[in-house]
Amino acid sequence: MTGTIKRGNIIVLTKTMRPKLGGGGLIGLEYILGLYNMQHMELAKELGLKKQNINLWIKGRQGIPKKYLPRLEKIFGISREYFPKELNEIEKLEIQKEKLKKELNPVIEKYDKQFMVKETNCIYKVPIYDKEEINRIGRKIEKAKLVSKFKQALDVVDDNPYMDTYRLITELLNKAQQEVVLHRTIEALAHYLEVLPDKINSDESQDEFESEIFEIFDDYNF
């Protein structure tokens, strides 16, 4: 692509950069190179290519040929799916986590069980490592996913009729997130509305709490 600039009375033709793939953000390869502090020339040598080839990939003027994706995956220890795509914040954190795992070689000390709400509700195991740096970034990923889901809930409709409810939820989380009654009530609602299976229960006292609160719900025909 070309453009023009004017210097005095002279118009000079110039080359303009193509936008990066996906609308202008960093593609995975560029982000990973920066994370590993690797120069384009170093990667070119690893792949048996010229530096210009890497530059073309980074600038989005040429896609990364599929045959190089397994090589990139092996060099960096990062899943090949990340290299050609524009990354979101969650994916960047996941890449950072994989880099740390490769560098620190952590040991899994135990597994925490977490409930995942999807088309089929299920329990999945979350590994807890002996390296707190990895656990910390894992928590960041989980928080980022929760924020993304909350935004999606807000954007269900353009003029959301439940904005006041969302405001109250955020205020409760800001000012009362340590209150046991808040967590018990949310868990009770999740059971009552069948978001959370009955078999998933925080403790025995929750059953007693829910039996009483459900009577109130039933009295009001909720």
- Confidence band, pLDDT 50/70/90 cuts, at residue 10: very low
- Confidence band, pLDDT 50/70/90 cuts, at residue 121: low
The count of C-alpha atoms lying within 13 angstroms of the C-alpha of 56, restricted to the half-sphere facing its C-beta, is 11
What are 12's two structure tokens?
């000079």
Q: Which domains does the chain have, with CATH numbers?
A: 1-87 (1.10.260.40), 89-156 (no CATH), 158-219 (no CATH)
Give the residue-averaged pLDDT of 63-89. Answer: 95
Q: Is 72 exposed, middle or buried (0-12, 13-18, 19+ CB in 10 A)?
A: buried
User: Nearest-CA neighbor of 142 among 114, 168, 119?
Assistant: 114
Global pTM value: 0.74
- Confidence band, pLDDT 50/70/90 cuts, at residue 22: very low
Give the residue-averaged pLDDT of 195-208. Answer: 85
Q: What is the per-residue pLDDT for 153?
A: 86
Q: How far apart are CA 195 and CA 204, in angstroms?
A: 19
Q: What is the DSSP string of 79-111?
A: -GGGTTSBP-HHHHHHHHHHHHHHHH---EEEE
Q: What is the per-residue pLDDT for 20?
A: 43
